[in-house]
Amino acid sequence: MTGFTEPANTQTALLLLGRGSDAGSERGVDCPGELPAPSDPDLVARAKAAKEALGGNVFVLGHHYQRDEVIQFADVTGDSFKLAQQAAARPDAEYIVFCGVHFMAESADILTGDHQQVVLPDMAAGCSMADMATASQVEQCWEDLQRVGIAEVTVPVTYMNSTAAIKGFVGREGGLVCTSSNAERALRWAYDHGEKVLFLPDQHLGRNTMVRDMGYSLDDCVLYNPHKPNGGLTDDELRNAKIILWKGHCSVHGRFTLECVEEMRRVDPDVNILVHPECKHEVVEAADYVGSTEYIIKLLEAAEPGSSWAIGTELNLVRRLANRFPDKKISFLDKTVCYCSTMNRIDLPHLVWALEELVAGRVPNVITVDEQTAVYAREALDRMLALP
């Protein structure tokens, strides 16, 4: 009998359950095998015991979009860059367990010391946006810009939600990293150092920052599609653009539509629409408030009791905020339930498994960025840190 190959749908199901591997992933996926059962009633106690046994040798980071069952064990919660900074500020912790996604753990590895190891509880916890820009695609784009004679006046800027390889490319070519809270400052820095910007990999953050915050027009923006020759653009379109946006997006924030906003206002005329800048331009234009994850949290902290809010960001965070502020009416902007599927791969069984492996003296799922990439990526991060 010839070798049996599982059907594609079976392979996908196994991957989603934390089993098997995805050979087509750029980062490589190796999901651990013997996980505790999700139904194990002792999972919480096991996590507490393992974390206590490790003491100060372990530092657990939890991104805002993580499940509550995981967040309860985080020493610090925050957005991706805050967490990477917090990891770097804990040099005594030998192990950094990052409950987030792959690019975040890479950033933590770049910013932490050589004596520290960054662990990702599930290596398949990636980011669809980050995976929309591969190193080879970006190199091809740069060759296109060189061919039309504009690379030398173009400054690359990459969103934090990108792979270490992309951050390394940007650092090598004199650019910098940005977050959703400092994108405007990063772009202003870029225009002080060049005439054009190549913005990776989230088109919406780049477009919204340029048009909404900096006063440029939509005509100043062009969209580079890495799956088409020359990005699907003419040479003149590339030469005339002020910013070349990469054709990438967040699969969660991209779901919110203008219809969602209009429906919320119809149901509740007093509602405040609060969205993340990764949302589409028409959604951001129709919103009352726009800002990063940290901005969203702080705005709700200061909001008047009894006020009504519809929030366009990941559902785990919205639900947590609704529970935290019961004196305010907080709802999800879309009627369709939408979690970040890759962020949600980090569940309690994976966290328990990772912590117990560390207790046993085995270090699982270590995230390591190669030295050359790390050097250039650190340059791009340091330029961001130096922003006024």
Feature table: binding site: 63, 80, 127, 159-161, 180, 250, 276-278, 293, 340
Binding-site members for [4Fe-4S] cluster are 127, 250, 340
User: What's the residue count for the chain?
Assistant: 388
Report the alpha-carbon angle 225-136-158, nearest 5.
65
Helix or strand holding residue 281 (H, E): helix 281-286
Binding-site members for iminosuccinate are 63, 80, 159-161, 180, 276-278, 293
Question: What secondary structure does DSSP assign to 306-362, as a single string?
Answer: T-EEEEES-HHHHHHHHHH-TTSEEEESSSS----TTGGG--HHHHHHHHHHHHTT-
Report the alpha-carbon angle 229-207-268, nearest 5.
130
Closest listed residue to residue 10, CA positions, set 2, 25, 20: 20
Kindly list the distances between the CA atom of residue 268 and the CA atoms of 100, 260, 262, 325, 333, in Å, as whole numbers in the listed order. 34, 12, 10, 19, 12
Which residues touch 217 (CB under 8 Å, ≥6 apart)?
Answer: 211
- Cβ–Cβ < 8 Å for 196, 241: yes
Match 């139904």 to its residue by tokens.
39
Report the alpha-carbon angle 77-79-83, nearest 5.
60
Q: Determine what percent of the chain falls in helix, strand and coil, rounding each to the nearest 5.
A: 45, 15, 40
How many C-beta atoms lie closer than 10 Å to residue 4's C-beta? 5
Closest listed residue to residue 352, CA positions, set 78, 72, 25: 72
**327 backbone dihedrals φ, ψ, rounded to 5°:** -80, 0
How many C-beta atoms lie closer than 10 Å to residue 82's C-beta? 18
Report the alpha-carbon angle 250-106-20, nearest 5.
75
Q: Mapping DSSP to helix (H, G, I), strand (E, B) and coil, where does residue 294 land?
A: helix
